[in-house]
Amino acid sequence: MSLHHLDVRNLLCPMPVIRTQNQVADLAPGDELEVLCTDPGALTDIPAWCRIEGHEVVQSGERNGEFFVRLKVAQSSVFHVR
């Protein structure tokens, strides 16, 4: 497992979700990503995206007037297509 960071401060949703989605695509299962943002909407949207994709939100909240979401990449996609 390795921890990665993504800085999306000053971007408004859905850009934080888009950047998160794009970075997670390059990570391995079990990796963690901490997203730093200033749009409080990201605290709603990134966890919603994680629920859809099966990723785990390890922690989220406010820190020094900014927001963060730390997620753990799912072991495998929750979507199986024959």
Partner 1 sequence: MEKTPKLRKAVALISGGLDSMLAARVVKDQGVHVEGLNFFTGFCVEGHTHAIRNRKGGKRNNALWVAEQLGIRLHIIDVIEEYKDVVINPRHGYGANLNPCLDCKSFMVGKAREWMEHNGFDFIVTGEVVGQRPMSQRRDTFPVIARESGANDRLLRPLCAKLQPPTLPERKGWVDREGLYRFSGRSRKPQIRLAETLKIDEFSQPAGGCCFLTDESYTAKMKDMWQARGEKSYDLDDIMLLKVGRHLRPVAHFKMIIARDEGETNYLLGYRNRFHHLVMTSHGGPLTLLEGQLSDDDLSLAAKIAARFGQGRDAAEVSFLAVTPDGPEKRLSVAPLKPNQISDTWYL
Q: Please confirm, yes or no, whether 50 is among the known catalytic residues.
A: no
**Token pair 């929750």: residue:** 78
| Chain positions contacting partner 1, by CB under 8 A | 9-10, 12-15, 17-18, 21, 38-41, 43-45, 48-49, 51-53, 79, 81-82
Q: How far apart are CA 33 and CA 22, in angstroms?
A: 12
**Token pair 């998160």: residue:** 20
Tell me the closest approach of the beta carbon of residue 82 to partner 1, in angstroms: 5
Tell me the closest approach of the beta carbon of residue 15 to partner 1, in angstroms: 7
Q: Which of 78, 75, 44, 49 is nearest to 60 (CA)?
A: 44
Active site residue ranges? 13
